Structure 1
Amino acid sequence: MKNEKGFTLIEMMIVLMVISVLLIITVPNVTQHNNTINTKGCDAFVKMVEGQVQAYNIDKKSLPSSVNDLVSGGYLKTGETTCPDGRQITLTAGGVVSAIKPTSN
């Protein structure tokens, strides 16, 4: 008879059980912290837009009047005007970037 090496059915079932336990532990933790993850992602996105405002200011020698100026100038991609949590990126006349919740009608 040949000497065939491989995993037995019991070994495979133990590995699948360990993977299942790890998934059962981690998935609820990620979903519980989803709001925190989106908030931190929005904070990071605001910082990135602030950097793009500075780059616009260096290139054009003036501050952009709105986020649309950054999009049309190629500093932001089209559609990059909202945070992961749904807040809208706004730009004041002084070049201050902020994220606000859109008003619902």
Structure 2
Amino acid sequence: MRNNKGFTLIEMLIVLAVISILLILFIPNLANKSENINEQGCDALLKMAENQLIAYELDNGSEPTELEDLVSEDYLETLECSNGAKIIAYSTDGELAVLENDAS
């Protein structure tokens, strides 16, 4: 009697098919989650920038001439969102907003 210890070709193909189907189902969902995380990170950076702008005004008695002053005086580390596609800037109405980064 032969003792077969191993997988047959059919068993291996079935396992590969199942793994492939799972990857096809989960990878698009992970990409959507990444986009959502980046948006939430930009929103959090915007709120932090608004608070640090107030702190700058309290410390110096006036608004900064440019938002880069917040970075240069260590109120913020950066004005760019983590993916670099968006940046914190003054909008057309003079409020802080998340805008597309022209440099990227």
Higher RCO by CA contacts (8 Å cutoff, separation 6 or greater): 1
Aligned mates of 1:102, 1:28 — CA distance in 2: 25
Equivalent residue number for residue 63 of structure 1: 63
Instruction: Give structure 2 stretches of 5+ with no counterpart.
Output: 1-18
Deviations 1:44-84 (A, max 9, x none): 1100010100000110010112121111222112xx11012
How many pairs does the alignment contain? 81
Aligned mates of 2:103, 2:71 — CA distance in 1: 25
Equivalent residue number for residue 82 of structure 2: 84
Aligned mates of 1:27, 1:33 — CA distance in 2: 10
Report the AA paired with residue 38 of structure 1. Answer: N
Equivalent residue number for residue 101 of structure 2: 102
Identity across matched positions, percent: 33
Relative to structure 1, the CA distance from residue 49 to residue 64 in structure 2 (aligned partners, 3 Å threshold; closer, same or farther) is: same
Report the AA paired with residue 84 of structure 1. Answer: S
Q: 4+ runs of 1 displaced by more than 3 Å?
A: 23-29
Equivalent residue number for residue 33 of structure 2: 33
With 83-92 and 54-63 compared, the bigger mean Cα shift is at 83-92
Counterpart contact for 1:38–1:84, Cα < 8 Å: yes
Let me know the Cα RMSD of the aligned residues: 2.9
Instruction: Give structure 1 stretches of 5+ with no counterpart.
Output: 1-19
Aligned mates of 2:101, 2:80 — CA distance in 1: 10
Relative to structure 1, the CA distance from residue 83 to residue 104 in structure 2 (aligned partners, 3 Å threshold; closer, same or farther) is: closer
Aligned mates of 2:99, 2:60 — CA distance in 1: 27
